[in-house]
C-alpha cells in the first residue's frame, strides 16, 4: 500500500474568450432575446390570446388607414402601369419627347394619388390614437403575464388586464400617448391635404420645397434619436410599475435606476429583435402577397394577403418583446430567480 500523496492540482482554466464572456453575460443581447423566447414558448396560449385580441382591435380601428393605403397603392400601380404601357405602345414618341416634362407629369399624377383625402382625416386620427392606446394596453398585459410566468405563478388573462388598469402609472401615460398619437396623425394628414400648405411649400424641386424638406429631415433625425435614447432608458418602465406599483414620476426614476449600466446592451437587444422581426414579417408577407396576387391575377387579392399575413405575424411576434423585458427586469432585481439562467 503506497503512502499518502498530495493530490495533483487541476489544470489552470483556459482564458475565456470574448464570445464566451458575452454568452455568460445575463444582459447580452443574444442571451436576452433567447431568454425571452424561452419564456414565451413555456406558456404561449395565454400570451397569444392577449396578442390576438389586441391585434384584432387595432386592425379594426386602422381600417380607414388600411383602405386609404389600399387606394393609394392601387392608384400608384395604375399610374405606373399606364405610363409604361404608353411608352411600350409608342417608344419613338417618348424617346424624343421632353424628358423633364414627362417626369413632371408623372410626379404630378403620383402626388395626386399620394395626397390623402381630407374627409376621413379625423376618423383616421381617432383610430390611430385608440389603436395606439390599445396596443400599449396589450403590451402591458403581455408583460404582466410574462412576469407571472417568470415567477412561476401564472395569472389569468383577465387578471392581467385588470392589473394594468389598476396601475395609475400605466393608465396616465397610455391615455396621454394615445391622445398625442391622434393629434400628430391628424396634423400630418391635414398638412398634407391642405392646399395652402402645398402652395406655400411650392413645387417639387423649388428652393423653398428643398429647404423645407431638408429641415424636416433634420428634425425627424433629431426626434428619432431622442425617442431611441428615451426608449432605451425607460424600456423596463412597464415591469417596474406593474411589480412595484409606482406612479409616473417615481416609476421613471426607478426605471432609470434599474437600466443604469445595461442600457447599451438592452438597446442592442431591442434593435436586434426589431430588425429580425421586421425582416421576417416583411419577407414572408411580401412573398405571400406576390404569390397570391400573381396566381390570381388580382392586385386587391394580393394586397389583402400581404396585409393579413402582416397582421397575423405581428400577433405571433407580439409576446416576445414583453417576455424579454420581463426577463431583463427579473434578472436585474431577482437574479437568483430569473428565467433563462444557465442552471434552468
Query: pLDDT (tens digit, 9 = 90+) per residue, 126-147?
Result: 888 899 999 999 999 999 999 9
State the pLDDT confidence band at 285, using cuts at 50, 70 and 90.
very high
Compute the average pLDDT of residues 323-331. 94
Domain total of the chain: 1
CB 167 within 8 Å of CB 241? yes
How many CA atoms, within 13 angstroms, populate the side-chain half-sphere of residue 203? 5
Q: Give the per-residue pLDDT at 264.
A: 92
Above 90 in pLDDT, residue 314?
yes
pLDDT: which is higher, 276 or 84: 276
Specify the range with the lowest mean pLDDT, choosing from 127-131, 255-259, 265-269: 127-131
Q: Give the per-residue pLDDT at 203.
A: 61
pLDDT: which is higher, 3 or 260: 260
**H-helix segments, 90-206:** 91-95, 99-114, 121-150, 157-166, 168-193, 195-201
Question: Has residue 93 been placed in a domain?
Answer: yes
Q: Give the per-residue pLDDT at 111.
A: 67
Compute the average pLDDT of residues 248-264. 93
State the pLDDT confidence band at 340, using cuts at 50, 70 and 90.
very low
Question: Has residue 38 been placed in a domain?
Answer: yes
Q: Give the per-residue pLDDT at 344.
A: 34
Question: Has residue 254 been placed in a domain?
Answer: yes
| Residue range 16-57, pLDDT digits in tens | 444 445 456 788 889 999 999 999 999 899 999 999 999 999
- Alpha carbon distances (Å) from 11 to 14, 16, 17: 9, 14, 18
pLDDT: which is higher, 160 or 106: 160
Range of the domain at 47: 29-333
Q: Give the per-residue pLDDT at 187.
A: 79
Question: Has residue 9 been placed in a domain?
Answer: no
Question: Has residue 125 been placed in a domain?
Answer: yes
Q: Give the per-residue pLDDT at 216.
A: 74
Spatial CB neighbours of 48, under 8 Å, sequence gap ≥ 6: 315, 316, 319
Measured in residues, the chain has a length of 344
Give the separation between CA 302 and CA 41, rounded to whole angstroms.
Answer: 31
State the pLDDT confidence band at 119, using cuts at 50, 70 and 90.
very low
Give the separation between CA 342 and CA 82, rounded to whole angstroms.
Answer: 61
Question: Has residue 89 been placed in a domain?
Answer: yes
| Residue range 138-179, pLDDT digits in tens | 999 999 999 999 998 999 999 999 999 999 999 999 999 999
Cell of 201: 411649400
Question: Has residue 305 been placed in a domain?
Answer: yes
Mean pLDDT of the chain: 81
Question: Has residue 10 been placed in a domain?
Answer: no
Amino acid at each position: 500500500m503506497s503512502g499518502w500523496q498530495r493530490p495533483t492540482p487541476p489544470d489552470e482554466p483556459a482564458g475565456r474568450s470574448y464570445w464566451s464572456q458575452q454568452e455568460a453575460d445575463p444582459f447580452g443581447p443574444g442571451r436576452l432575446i433567447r431568454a425571452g423566447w424561452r419564456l414565451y414558448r413555456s406558456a404561449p396560449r395565454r400570451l397569444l390570446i392577449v396578442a390576438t385580441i389586441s391585434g384584432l382591435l387595432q386592425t379594426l380601428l386602422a381600417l380607414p388607414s388600411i383602405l386609404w393605403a389600399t387606394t393609394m397603392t392601387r392608384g400608384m400601380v395604375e399610374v405606373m402601369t399606364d405610363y409604361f404601357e404608353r411608352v411600350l405602345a409608342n417608344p419613338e414618341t417618348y424617346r424624343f419627347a421632353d424628358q423633364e416634362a414627362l417626369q413632371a407629369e408623372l410626379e404630378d399624377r403620383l402626388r395626386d394619388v399620394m395626397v390623402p383625402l381630407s374627409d376621413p382625416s379625423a376618423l383616421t386620427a381617432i383610430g390611430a390614437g385608440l389603436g395606439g392606446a390599445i396596443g400599449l394596453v396589450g403590451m402591458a398585459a403581455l408583460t404582466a403575464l410574462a412576469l407571472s410566468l417568470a415567477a412561476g405563478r401564472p395569472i389569468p388573462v383577465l387578471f392581467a388586464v385588470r392589473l394594468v388598469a389598476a396601475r395609475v402609472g400605466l393608465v396616465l401615460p397610455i391615455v396621454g400617448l394615445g391622445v398625442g398619437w391622434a393629434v400628430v396623425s391628424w396634423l400630418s394628414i391635414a398638412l398634407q391635404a391642405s392646399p395652402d400648405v402645398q402652395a406655400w411649400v411650392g413645387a417639387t424641386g423649388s428652393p423653398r420645397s428643398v429647404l423645407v424638406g431638408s429641415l424636416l429631415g433634420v428634425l425627424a433625425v433629431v426626434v428619432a434619436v431622442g425617442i431611441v435614447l428615451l426608449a432605451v432608458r425607460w424600456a423596463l418602465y412597464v415591469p417596474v410599475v406593474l411589480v412595484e406599483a409606482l406612479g409616473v414620476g417615481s416609476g421613471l426614476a426607478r426605471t432609470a435606476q434599474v437600466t443604469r449600466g445595461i442600457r447599451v446592451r438592452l438597446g442592442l437587444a431591442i434593435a436586434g429583435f426589431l430588425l429580425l422581426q421586421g425582416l421576417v414579417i416583411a419577407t414572408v408577407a411580401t412573398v405571400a402577397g406576390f404569390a397570391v396576387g400573381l396566381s390570381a391575377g388580382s392586385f386587391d387579392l394580393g394586397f389583402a394577403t400581404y396585409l393579413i399575413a402582416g397582421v397575423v405575424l405581428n400577433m405571433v411576434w407580439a409576446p416576445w418583446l414583453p417576455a424579454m423585458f420581463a426577463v431583463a427586469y427579473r434578472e436585474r432585481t431577482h437574479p437568483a430567480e430569473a428565467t433563462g439562467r444557465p442552471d434552468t
